[in-house]
Chain A
Amino acid sequence: MTTDSSNTRNSLNSIGPKAVKYAIEVEHLTVSYNARPALLDVTVRIERDQLVGVIGPNGAGKSTFIKAVLGFIKPDIGSVKIGGVDVRQMKGRVAYVPQRGAVDWDFPVTVREVAMMGRYQRIPWYASATPADREIALEALHMVRMEEFSDRQIGELSGGQQQRVFLARALAQGSDILLLDEPFAGVDAATERAILEVLERAKKAGKTLVVVHHDLATAAEYFDRLILIKQRMYAYGTPREVLQEELLSKVYEGRLRIFGTVFREEAV
């Protein structure tokens, strides 16, 4: 594939509309830990401006997939390209939203500061944040409707608010691709709606969102595309294509109880 020079320059900050067709291209990705394959020959091309759910049973390699897309691990073979560039060559193109359980909520940091962290990759190590950076961080907080909580310590927020602050941080990074690790874990139904609404809005603003999700019951409703993995890639497509009874029972190996057309993962 050839791209002209203007597109190449443009792709430093954002993926130009015609630059590359796919937001994330994973090609023949194989990753192993101590001779045990975590991912085997995973190939998937994710289109831009989509809300994509990654589903699969526990231990299916979902977190390895995340790490690979963030460029943390050197694959045995294969590659991950973000906007046409190998992810290990250029860090910071994918904004990451951690699981709620992975954060120390007692950390002395305010909502505004968390949003500012999204700008850190753009600030040279010897310089301090510019007013423009502050503006962008505040804008991101505005987008998730957390502006008025700017000076709160993050532990004082409700679960949904906390999730939104980290979403704001990801937005402030200015990446076109957001990676969310189980954003709906441990929040109530109303909060789940509120988070989903923000995700939808981010999508409309031209972001591609990849969300690790484990509730099959809501997967069809929330996402445009689903990736079903368990070591191997089992399916990628619209929820209708992916949530096939035959496919799911193969991946979840009978750990599913089937209620008509709704699938639920049974607690093991």
Chain B
Amino acid sequence: MYELFVAPLFETYFQKALIGGSVVAVVAGVVGCLVVLRRMAFLGDALSHAMIAGVAGGYLVMKMLFGLEAHAPGMLLGSLLAAVVTVALISFVSRISRVKEDTAIGIMYTGVFALGVVAVSIFRHYIHIDLMHFIMGDILGVADADLWVGAFVAAFVLSILILFFRQFQLTTFDPVMAASIGLPVLFLDYLLTTCVSLVVVSAVSMVGVILVVGLLITPAATAYLLCDRLDRMMMLSALFGVTSVIGGLYLCVLLDSAGGGAVMLFCTLQFVVVLTVAPKYGLLARWLRLSRMVPQQTVEDILTTILRHGKPAPLSIIRQYAENTKGLGKALRQMVRDGLLEERQGNYGLSKKGETEAAKVLRAHRLWEAYLDRIGMPQEALHATAHHLEHLQGRETADYLDEKLGRPGVDPHGQTIPARKENGPEGKASR
């Protein structure tokens, strides 16, 4: 236990990875919420790929002009420039041609990425960039410069997002209203894109080009499943980012695997767990909701069966007439709970509310029979078809039939059609 959990904490590489990773994960998580809500996920991918051209360019320029080897600020500036140029190209192409935005993103980022790869290999004698390192990242080999970049970016981006939280919230949620009250919507869009670029640039050195988009959107999407407010979603997303880094680093020590991969794997597992168990938007909750629901048709069949029986009916009678006998017991219990039925010594009788509902269905059934008879459907098919159609929603349907048939009063079998009740459960007469 000690070996696994405490010993790594005394290793410098582990400390740096933990601190650097957490700082980047917090800011990626927060800005990622806006990325997810604006459906910009693919853009994060594009930015990270475009970076390599910028890094190569920055490296080359600094070396040629100033003779500086692997100048970090130069490469950072280069990546930002490349990111901005890529975004500009994407919006330019999608605006002036018939090519849609998702395709434009795909074209531009692969193009700029390819340019970077070619540049790095042509100038391999001048610039020493390890492509594999760049693509896969190395969270366990975080350089001090990367730490400083990460800290600076985090401070800058978080300040912007906190300061302009309302503005970002509104332009993301309702850009038209935002513009109508005079918010600089376009400027805010650029500001956010710049923030995303900064975060991507600072995160690439740790998790690499391929995984950075995951760090940006997975914690945010995880929080999205749990929150109904943007501020809380951002806080939770930051937390999930940090837990991914911590969990991932231990996973990497335990399995002796690649650092960036382990972090993203842990992050994804976290998402899958939340997706399963989230109380409101999770799969289990959804499944439970569905299984608790009793189909309206079963409810209506039970109601009319008891109404036709004329007195409280035992389960055996109900089973005989109901079309769908599966889950009948559950349906009956639910209906007692909903106040539609009353149970007395194994017999189920209609409550006042149940009676009203049953009469409504019966009315629909008999009106449908009358209508089907009128349009010339053979006698033997009347009941089955009407039985199916009686479950159509909305009282307007039955009213329409009633009116169309000239308020017949009796159905083809000579049975009375219940009159329309004005005081339904909605308590509102519509006219």
User: What 0/1 pattern do residues 55 to 70 of A give for CB contact below 8 A with B?
Assistant: 0000000000000001
A108 touches B227 (CB 8 A): yes
User: Within residues 89 to 116 of chain A, which ones have a CB less than 8 A from any CB in chain B?
Assistant: 91-92, 94-96, 98, 102-104, 107-110, 113
A92 touches B180 (CB 8 A): yes
Q: Which of A110, A189, A190 makes the CB contact (< 8 A) with B229?
A: A110
Return chain A residues, CB-CB under 8 Å to B428.
190
Return chain B residues, CB-CB under 8 Å to A117.
169-170, 173-174, 177
Q: How far is the CA of A73 from the CA of B179 in the complex (A)?
A: 11
Return chain A residues, CB-CB under 8 Å to B172.
107
Given contacts A98-B174, A120-B170, A120-B181, contact A125 B164 (CB under 8 A): yes
User: What 0/1 pattern do residues 122 to 141 of A give for CB contact below 8 A with B?
Assistant: 01011000000000000000
A107 touches B173 (CB 8 A): yes
Q: How far is the CA of A98 from the CA of B173 in the complex (A)?
A: 11
Q: How far is the CA of A110 from the CA of B228 in the complex (A)?
A: 7
User: What 0/1 pattern do residues 228 to 244 of B give for CB contact below 8 A with A?
Assistant: 11101100000000000
A108 touches B166 (CB 8 A): no
Given contacts A102-B176, A107-B37, contact A153 B430 (CB under 8 A): no
Return chain A residues, CB-CB under 8 Å to B179.
70, 72, 91
Return chain B residues, CB-CB under 8 Å to A70.
176, 179-180
B173 touches A125 (CB 8 A): no
Given contacts A107-B37, A108-B228, A108-B229, contact A121 B174 (CB under 8 A): no
The reply on A183 being an interface residue by CB < 8 A is no
The reply on B167 being an interface residue by CB < 8 A is yes
Return chain A residues, CB-CB under 8 Å to B177.
96, 98, 117, 169
Known: A109-B228, A117-B169. 8 other contacts (CB 8 A): A70-B179, A96-B177, A107-B172, A117-B170, A120-B166, A120-B181, A125-B164, A125-B167
The reply on B376 being an interface residue by CB < 8 A is no
The reply on B224 being an interface residue by CB < 8 A is yes
B176 touches A113 (CB 8 A): no
Of B167, B172, B229, B428, most A-chain CB atoms within 10 Å:
B229
Q: How far is the CA of A173 from the CA of B174 in the complex (A)?
A: 15
Return chain B residues, CB-CB under 8 Å to A94.
180
Interface size class of A (residues with CB under 8 A): 20 to 34
Binding site for B on A (CB under 8 A): 70-72, 91-92, 94-96, 98, 102-104, 107-110, 113, 117, 120-121, 123, 125-126, 153, 169, 173, 189-190
Given contacts A103-B174, A104-B173, A120-B166, contact A92 B229 (CB under 8 A): no
Which DSSP category, helix, strand, loop or mixed, fits chain B's interface?
A: helix
Which residue of B is nearest A190, CB measured? B430
A91 touches B229 (CB 8 A): no
User: Within residues 162 to 218 of chain B, which ones have a CB less than 8 A from any CB in chain A?
Assistant: 163-164, 166-167, 169-170, 172-174, 176-177, 179-183
Return chain A residues, CB-CB under 8 Å to B183.
120
Return chain A residues, CB-CB under 8 Å to B180.
70-72, 91-92, 94-96
Question: What are 22 A-B contacts defined by CB distance under 8 Å?
Answer: A70-B176, A70-B180, A71-B180, A94-B180, A96-B177, A96-B180, A98-B174, A104-B37, A107-B37, A108-B224, A108-B229, A109-B229, A110-B228, A113-B229, A117-B170, A120-B170, A121-B181, A125-B163, A125-B164, A125-B167, A169-B177, A189-B430
B182 touches A92 (CB 8 A): yes
Q: Which of A92, A98, A108, A113 makes the CB contact (< 8 A) with B233?
A: A108
Q: How far is the CA of A125 from the CA of B428 in the complex (A)?
A: 46
Which residue of A is nearest B229, CB measured? A108
Q: How far is the CA of A94 from the CA of B229 in the complex (A)?
A: 27
Return chain B residues, CB-CB under 8 Å to A123.
166
Which residue of B is nearest A114, CB measured? B173
Q: How far is the CA of A152 from the CA of B127 in the complex (A)?
A: 56
Given contacts A108-B230, A190-B430, contact A91 B181 (CB under 8 A): yes
Q: How far is the CA of A71 from the CA of B224 in the complex (A)?
A: 34
Return chain A residues, CB-CB under 8 Å to B169.
109, 117
